């Protein structure tokens, strides 16, 4: 595996303070390697967006990062903890080192400005000494890169389809050649054909430009197709992590198994669609022990008492899972 570019260590994010705080992200450890696509999946409310907002320090109040580190490794220079950057350093970090495409980002294009103005503004803000001609050439290249004709620079957002607007947002995210691109449900608002077209294009771009992607979605089937590794989130914790093909071939966590049985098989023999009974936990009243135990068909004695930590199971040392079914499981430290 390539070197890490972003290491999330023990990240905790709460909504509110003191006894009233809701712990939406709990002790998350996650490493993104250079040039890889890491998928993050889980049902609605599992904490995926909170994790993305927390690690980029874009969390709106009452959200607070209450612990952990987010270590970014620049191509040259020493690693930095994003959580300790000054506001000026943070501005540089966003877009230039790490850029973000959020859910419904296409609606964040300014309707009264042409696409050209918005793309050129991003480039100019970070490269004030570049010439107008070089910025224009760059903007045209970026549009072509995401499969849009360069003459669309003169369009206003309302003159573009939803898919095109979302691709413009992806072009903006790539404008400064960041090392990391975080995408939170970037294609959810689009139809299935358009989703796959954009993701296929993204995979191609990643091959050429070699950025790493943290791709967040509730749709595990998309991740199986488009990511190198997959992490599964439940009740604010990562409960399983594995290379995409291995996870699809055999899930180690009963929750992952349930997610895999919620969509038709992508290849191989057909499998029964069973879904997952019950609903995700209420973060204000989390069950004791493993958060999944009220829904888990395999729950047994320790499950409702102790929370299993994410660790390597004996039989699959290259993977990680948080479940008492695996003999090497240990409880999370208090």
- Please identify, among the stretches 41-49, 85-93, 220-228, 295-303, the one whose residues bind ligand ATP according to the rule CB under 6 A: 41-49
- Please identify, among the stretches 96-104, 244-252, 268-276, 297-305, the one whose residues bind ligand SF4 according to the rule CB under 6 A: 297-305
| Nearest residue (CB) to ligand SF4, 25 versus 291 | 291
Among 283, 291, 307, 310, binds ligand ATP (CB under 6 A): 283
183 contributes a contact to ligand ATP by CB under 6 A? no
- Please identify, among the stretches 128-136, 171-179, 286-294, 309-317, the one whose residues bind ligand SF4 according to the rule CB under 6 A: 286-294
Displacement of CA 185 from its chain's centroid (Å): 8
Question: What is the number of other CB atoms lying within 10 angstroms of the CB of residue 156?
Answer: 14
Query: Which value, in Å, is the radius of gyration of the alpha carbons in the chain?
Result: 21
Q: Following CA atoms 292, 293, 298, 303 in sequence, which dihedral angle do they give, to the nearest 10 degrees?
A: 120
308 contributes a contact to ligand ATP by CB under 6 A? no
How distant, in Å, are the alpha carbons of 191, 205, 228, 241, 255 from that of 212?
25, 11, 10, 17, 26
Strand order from edge to edge, sheet including 237-243: 98-101, 180-184, 212-217, 37-41, 229-234, 237-243, 320-321
Among 31, 50, 118, 166, binds ligand ATP (CB under 6 A): 50
22 contributes a contact to ligand ATP by CB under 6 A? yes
Among 42, 254, 289, 308, binds ligand ATP (CB under 6 A): 42
Q: How far apart are CA 202 and CA 226, in angstroms?
A: 9
- Please identify, among the stretches 48-56, 223-231, 243-251, 252-260, the one whose residues bind ligand ATP according to the rule CB under 6 A: 48-56
Residues at the contact surface with ligand ATP, assessed by CB under 6 A: 15, 22, 24, 42, 44-50, 62, 218, 283
């Amino acid at each position: 595996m390539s070197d890490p570019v972003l290491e999330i260590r023990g990240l905790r994010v709460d909504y509110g303070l003191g006894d009233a705080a809701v712990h939406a992200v709990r002790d998350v450890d996650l490493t993104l390697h250079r040039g890889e696509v890491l998928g993050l999946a889980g049902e609605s409310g599992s904490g995926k967006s909170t994790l993305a907002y927390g690690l980029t320090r874009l969390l709106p109040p009452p959200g607070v990062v209450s612990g952990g580190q987010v270590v970014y490794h620049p191509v040259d220079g020493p690693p930095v903890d994003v959580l300790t950057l000054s506001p000026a350093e943070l501005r540089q970090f966003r877009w230039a080192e790490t850029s973000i495409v959020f859910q419904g980002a296409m609606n964040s294009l300014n309707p009264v400005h042409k696409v050209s103005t918005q793309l050129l503004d991003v480039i100019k803000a970070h490269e004030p000494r570049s010439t107008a001609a070089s910025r224009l050439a760059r903007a045209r290249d970026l549009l072509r890169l995401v499969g849009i004709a360069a003459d669309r620079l003169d369009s206003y957002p309302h003159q573009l389809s939803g898919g095109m607007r979302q691709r413009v947002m992806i072009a903006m995210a790539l404008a400064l050649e960041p090392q990391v691109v975080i995408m939170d449900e970037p294609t959810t608002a689009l139809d299935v054909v358009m989703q796959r077209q954009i993701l296929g294009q993204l995979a191609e771009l990643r091959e050429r430009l070699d950025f790493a992607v943290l791709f967040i979605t509730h749709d595990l089937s998309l991740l199986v197709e488009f990511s190198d590794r997959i992490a599964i989130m439940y009740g604010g914790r990562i409960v399983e992590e594995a290379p995409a093909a291995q996870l699809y071939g055999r899930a180690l966590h009963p929750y992952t198994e349930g997610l895999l049985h919620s969509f038709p098989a992508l290849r191989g023999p057909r499998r029964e669609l069973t879904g997952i009974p019950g609903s995700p936990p209420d973060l204000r009243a989390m069950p004791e022990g493993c958060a999944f135990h009220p829904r888990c068909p395999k729950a047994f004695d320790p499950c409702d008492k102790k929370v299993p930590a994410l660790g390597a199971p004996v039989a699959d040392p290259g993977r990680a899972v948080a479940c008492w079914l695996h003999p090497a499981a240990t409880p999370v430290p208090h």
